[in-house]
Amino acid sequence: MTETPRPTDSHLHDVLQQIANEAQDLFGRGEVANYIPALAEVPARRFGMALAMVDGSSYTVGDAHTPFSLQSITKLFTFVLALKAVGEDLWTRVGREPSGAAFNSMVQLESERGIPRNPFINAGALVVTDILTSRYAHMDLAMLGALRRLTDDPALTWNVRIAKSERDTAHRNMALAYFMKSYGNFHNPPELVLDNYCRQCATEMTCTQLAQATMFLANGGVDLAKGSQPGEHVLSADAARRVNALMLTCGAYDASGDFAYRIGLPIKTGVGGGIVAIAPGRGTISVWSPELDAKGNSVLGAFALERLVQLTGWNHD
């Protein structure tokens, strides 16, 4: 049997349209996140996808220019900020192992004496936010400033209504914070950290912006030049590789192994329905569709990424 040739970059518009057409059949197989009331109001039947290539080209389909709530995808950016701020000392307070448990689970914290398994589960992300709260007088604004530079959008911000809705229902996250504080792994008042954390998670981007904001992870730690501005050295090439490794093993909650098996790219998911994936040396992929599976990952987003690597072979590069 003759193997179907992989598409060249010039055919990526067609690839995205094919994926978008196939994804329509999956609507109704998941549910929009409802434990945060403001997120429950997002229309379910939405799908957008964007590719940003290291050569500066980009491709989009569907609702790729519609802003959505990043939620846990912001954990990637705060993790990078903390890594830059405190370096290897970060690993004295949070681990680098897959959790195998739900993103908001408390089960492992007691047996592991308040040290979260990784920075991408809620407990780990709260510790990262605590580190940044100690580092910056206004941690939420520091993170927003970094994201505005990466997206080249000075108007980028968080959704105040979603942040309040999330803060009003953050009982389990508050319990996680106080539990870790009892073990000495939380330095600031949990209330202050939760305020920062909920604003962080309520940050909104489009698929095109998210693909652009993560370009440094596909490009050896260097962001692409924007107009007359040279590319920013966000991380060293080695640090970018390590971040990608952690995304591959821990980026999709307790479904990370399944995502690694099916897709084979570093990814980070969020309960707002977004997923960002990194194809090192080639580009970034962002997809958004709000209907989630039982583990909190976008149903259509996971399908779209799996089809993309099948059609392009990018996970073999």
What structural domains and CATH numbers belong to the chain?
A: 9-68+205-316 (3.40.710.10), 72-201 (3.40.710.10)
Q: Do the annotations mark residue 291 as ligand-binding?
A: no
Annotated active-site residue in 69, 72, 105, 286: 72
Rg of the chain in Å (alpha carbons): 18
| Active-site residue, from 59, 75, 193, 286 | 75
Q: Is 253 a catalytic residue?
A: yes
In this structure, the strands spanning 68-69 and 204-205 are: antiparallel
What tokens were used for 214? 């993560």
- DSSP per-residue letters across the chain: -PPPPPPPGGGHHHHHHHHHHHHGGGTTSSB---SSTTGGGS-SS--EEEEEETTS-EEEEESTTS-EE-GGGHHHHHHHHHHHHHGGGGGGTS--S---S-TT--HHHHHTTT--S-TTSHHHHHHHHHHHHHH-TTHHHHHHHHHHHHHT-TT--B-HHHHHHHHHT-HHHHHHHHHHHHTT---S-HHHHHHHHHHHHTBEE-HHHHHHHTHHHHTTTBPPPBTTBPPPB-S-HHHHHHHHHHHHHHTTGGGHHHHHHHT-S-EEE-TTSEEEEEETTTEEEEEE---B-TTS-BHHHHHHHHHHHHHH-GGG-
Per the annotation, the verdict on 178 as an active-site residue is no
pLDDT at position 6: 55
Res 1: pLDDT: 39
Instruction: Give the whole-angstrom CA distance, residue 147 versus residue 230.
Output: 16
Answer whether 301's CB lies under 8 Å from 269's CB.
yes
* Whether the Cβ atoms of residue 283 and residue 220 lie closer than 8 Å to each other: no
pLDDT for the residue numbered 316: 67
- The confidence score (pLDDT) of residue 126 equals 98
Q: Mean pLDDT, consecutive 10-residue segments, the chain of 317 residues?
A: 52 96 97 91 96 96 98 98 96 92 78 92 97 96 96 96 95 95 97 97 98 98 83 93 97 93 97 97 98 95 98 82
pLDDT at 229: 75
Task: Give the pLDDT confidence score for residue 236 in this predicted structure.
Answer: 96
136 noted as active-site residue: no
122 annotated ligand binder: yes
> Do the annotations mark residue 197 as ligand-binding?
yes
Q: Of the listed 271, 276, 299, 309, which one is catalytic?
A: 271
Which residues have CB under 8 Å from 172's CB, separation 6+?
104, 106, 122
